[in-house]
Chain A
Amino acid sequence: MVPHLAGLLPEAPSVIVGLIVNPVAGLGGPAALKGSDGPAVQARALALGSVPRAAGRATAALRALHARCPALHLRTVAGPMGEDSAVAAGVPYELVHRPAHVTGAADTRAAVAALGGVDLLLFVGGDGTARDVLDARPTGAVLGVPAGVKVYSGCFAVSPFAAGATAAGFDGTTLEAEVVDLDEEAYRSGQVGARLYGTLRVPAARARLSGRKTGSSSAPPGSVESIARAVAASMLPGTAYALGPGATTLAVGRELGLELTPLGVDVVRDGVLLASDVTEQTLLTLAMSQVTHAILSVIGGQGFVIGRGNQQFSPRVLDRLAGITVLATQQKLAALGGRPLLVDSGDTATDAALSGPARVVTGYRESVIYRIQSASEDS
């Protein structure tokens, strides 16, 4: 990748990258809370053993950017909303704001305003954070570093590494990307349906952006049911199956005569629902005590298999699974336009172990060999 931004710097010393981290982004994922909005949910997530991960992902993005763009002018805010990550990445920074609080939507909006007219604003979070950034009406280009539970908006890079590389390659050309979000309360009760909140200008580097999630209604009639029949027929006696979120796995539940949690992880063994909407901790306990197999669907439009909406499948859980079955309609795979399926477990070695050509079940006795790649890999 040509470091355009670095090339621009001598002539244009005013090119400034802003950084805002939502330190609580992603907390609710492993705890099966579907999101992290609000102090009550955040406290519950921490009580359930979730570990903050936004700061680490911000650091990874900054490292990738700084390596390509050593003369980087970074502007950020104090403490966990940016400064801590800049320090961890060893990147010099200009401090413009000391927030009183760090975990609310208003804090994000205040920080965007305080950063002023940056040329590219990197924000670290999920769809909720993207909405807060949108509300603050940023003047320049924006790029999301994915760290939230749900990352369905098109304004995110596919991984922290990709965000850093995209930022370094930013030459001023932008395109519009959608900000979408789900109502977390409705989402927790199982209703899916993204709402479009607006658009942000993002660097025009389509391949490295994750693309907006496409809806689950575009598959031709019968194809999802055909996948569900295939999965049900493949289930072995005595094996526990952990079914991830999504409309496709929900159809597997219908095929088994079980009502599954639409956006949670459920465990089925011998046709019986063993546990509903489990946390990462429960899943780990299960995988350590008995043969456990994961059944995961692909997020349409983005291609994510792991790391978006299903953080219950953490690296330590994934390492203990007996196998993973990936589900997608042929239409969903075709719509990826040749881009690989992505895994972003948060652990490089786990992602590498999951990478390579994989069988994706596309129907009854029907599959497609499709490439899985770590979202952090430079493609």
Chain B
Amino acid sequence: MSSHGESFATLPVAPKPALRRFHQARWDEEMIFELSRPGRRGIGVPAPDAPLVELPEGVGRATPPALPELSQNQVVRHYLRLSQETLGADLNIDVGQGTCTMKYSPKVNDTFVRDPRIAELHPLQPEDTVQGVLEIYWRLEQILEEISGMTRVSLQPGAGSAAIYANLAMIRAYHASRGEGGQRDQVVTTMFSHPSNAACAKVAGYEVITLMPDADGYPDIEALRAAVGPRTAALLITNPEDTGIFNPRIREFVELVHAAGGLACYDQANANGILGITRARDAGFDLCHFNLHKTFSTPHACGGPAAGACGVSEALVPFLPGPVVDRDGESYTLSSPASPVGKIRPFLGVTPNVVRAYAWVMALGADGLREVAETAVLNNNYLLHKVLQIPGASVPWPDKRRVEQVRYSWQELAEETGVHSEEIGIRAGDFGVHYWTSHHPYVVPEPFTLEPTESYSREDLDEYAAILAQVATEARQDPEFVRNAPYNQTVHRIDPTSLDDPAQWSPTWRAYCRKHRR
């Protein structure tokens, strides 16, 4: 290095190398609670002229809330620093979290959510004061009914998995209403359906039967035949599955389940490849769900609050969770039907995300939604083409067309170099991108799952593929170098045990203090 440092300091600016010289930011920032100092404030509020009103007994709190006390610039600095210490959807080419569908959320939609008419709503306001937001709910429900072909949609669930759970609650109530609640205690799903389906079924008390892929990569229809019977409550299935392969015999699957007296439930959490192209009801499904954050451009929100939508056929409308929004002429009303399902969460739904999703859909229109799907499929097949040019990368069932995502394999590279998919992902992080393998168990060996959605440009996809190609080359030339990555991150390896250990995990500051600061 010369006395004036790297070439950044000299003019003209040197040409950029093919791959980004990324380095993760490290601010070594404390928790915001640790930054707190008694009495520190963002705004000096003038003392009131009027005398203070005495609150009735029992309304005021005995001790003030334990909120951090900070100055304005501290707050701004704190959150800007944290925003740099991530690889979030607005920082990286976020195509590496296939099945979770990271897409860009237009910032204009956040301005609607910040509008006081939304931001200051209270869930217990009288109906006649919230007609506008009820209309947004009602309209988005109508739109999702059109997209899915279903008779009625509920936007109450607070997330995608909550929507799957709501569907299971409806399935259980439906069978109970026919006197078969006790008998139908099994749910069938597939190995490449999103594992939230199996998880929610278990939470709802069902026995779970999983179908493996057949020789062509489709869920094994012979296995389905063996699985269904008088104990079948429902089939919960994703299509296209996590492999990106669309099951063309999906109607036969539905018919087999119907013939056994079960219901068919379509996991459309990620509908990016099929918007305006196929509809759940047209394939005979009785229920479906969407994750608004996977398909309709609302934030993932790191475990909540996201937003989910349940769609049902005519026969299941009486089982929808409440409250539901109805239109009476020009006015909108809330009613809680006598559904045995009751509520899935308190109040109406996650309103900010419903508003964002509505704004996103309205900006695109019907043709725009179909274009989203077509662009997502095109992007995916372009990326597939690029990745398959990397020696050592492959796709299982290569003769099958992919829709909106692909589960790839580094098996060949791993056999040649001993470098595993997880290690490739960590090294890819050195170039400022995120990368994910697959749910467990690894049915595809040495898996990685890419889903480019409609958000990314050709240059973005070229850059992502070039990073993978670079890491694969490094694995061949110097496997140890890749295994010892990362080099441009601030933490070498994270010990994940705290994520799985209830004695350690700390989703709140209060929990952290209780478990770790005694």
Contact = CB atoms under 8 A, between A and B. Distances in A.
Interface of A: 220, 329-331, 333-335, 337-338, 356-359, 362, 365-371
5 contacts: A338-B213, A357-B225, A357-B226, A365-B202, A371-B220
Contacts of B198: 366
A331 B441 contact: yes
A86 to B, nearest CB: 36
B87 interface: no
A370 B209 CA distance: 11
B443 A369 contact: no
B207 A365 contact: yes
B215 A330 contact: no
Nearest to A362: B210
Nearest to A367: B209
A371 B223 CA distance: 8
Contacts of B443: 334
A368 B192 CA distance: 12
B202 A366 contact: yes
Nearest to B209: A367
A369 B207 contact: no
A365 to B, nearest CB: 4
B86 to A, nearest CB: 29
Contacts of B209: 359, 367-369
A335 B441 CA distance: 8
A369 B440 contact: no
B68 interface: no
Given A338-B213, A368-B191, A368-B210, A357 B441 contact: no
B222 interface: yes
Which 3 pairs between the two chains have the least Cβ-Cβ distance?
Answer: A369-B223, A334-B441, A357-B226
A369 B220 contact: yes
A367 B443 CA distance: 16
B208 interface: yes
> Which of B191, B213, B441 has its CB near the most chain A CB atoms (within 10 A)?
B441
A329 B441 CA distance: 9
A330 B213 contact: no
Interface residues of B, number: 24
> Which of B212, B213, B215 has its CB near the most chain A CB atoms (within 10 A)?
B212
Given A220-B440, A334-B443, A367 B215 contact: no
A302 to B, nearest CB: 17
A368 B191 CA distance: 9
B223 A338 contact: no
A324 to B, nearest CB: 15
> Which of A334, A359, A369 has its CB near the most chain B CB atoms (within 10 A)?
A369
Nearest to B213: A338
B8 interface: no
A367 B210 contact: yes
Interface string B174-208: 00000000000000000100000010001000111
Contacts, number: 61
A333 B207 contact: no
Nearest to B441: A334
Contact of B212 (A331, A333, A359): A333
Interface in B443-457: 443, 445
B472 interface: no
Contacts of B440: 220, 330-331
Contacts of B260: none
Contact of B210 (A220, A331, A338, A369): A369
A371 B224 CA distance: 12
Nearest to A366: B208
A334 B210 contact: no
Contact of B441 (A330, A359, A367): A330
Contacts of B445: 337
A371 B209 CA distance: 14
B227 interface: yes
B501 to A, nearest CB: 12
Given A331-B440, A334-B442, A366 B207 contact: yes
A257 B220 CA distance: 38
A367 B188 CA distance: 10
B134 interface: no
Given A356-B226, A357-B220, A368 B441 contact: no
Given A357-B222, A367-B208, 4 more contacts: A334-B441, A338-B213, A366-B210, A371-B220
> Which of B215, B225, B443 has its CB near the most chain A CB atoms (within 10 A)?
B443
B263 interface: no
Given A220-B440, A330-B441, A331-B440, A369 B208 contact: no
Contacts of B206: 365
B350 to A, nearest CB: 31
B211 interface: yes
Contacts of B442: 334
B207 to A, nearest CB: 4
Contacts of B441: 329-331, 333-335
B215 A338 contact: yes
Nearest to B226: A357
A106 to B, nearest CB: 37
A359 B443 CA distance: 18
Nearest to B500: A221
Contacts of A371: 220, 222-223
A338 B433 CA distance: 32
Given A330-B441, A337-B445, A370 B207 contact: no
Contacts of B208: 365-367
Contacts of A367: 207-210
Nearest to B225: A357
A357 B222 CA distance: 7
Contacts of A334: 191, 441-443
A220 B440 CA distance: 10
A379 to B, nearest CB: 9
A225 to B, nearest CB: 16
A356 B220 CA distance: 12
Interface string B347-369: 00000000000000000000000
Contacts of B224: 369
Contacts of A338: 212-213, 215
Contacts of A370: 212, 223
A331 B191 CA distance: 11
Nearest to B224: A369
A287 to B, nearest CB: 25
A358 B213 CA distance: 14
A235 to B, nearest CB: 16
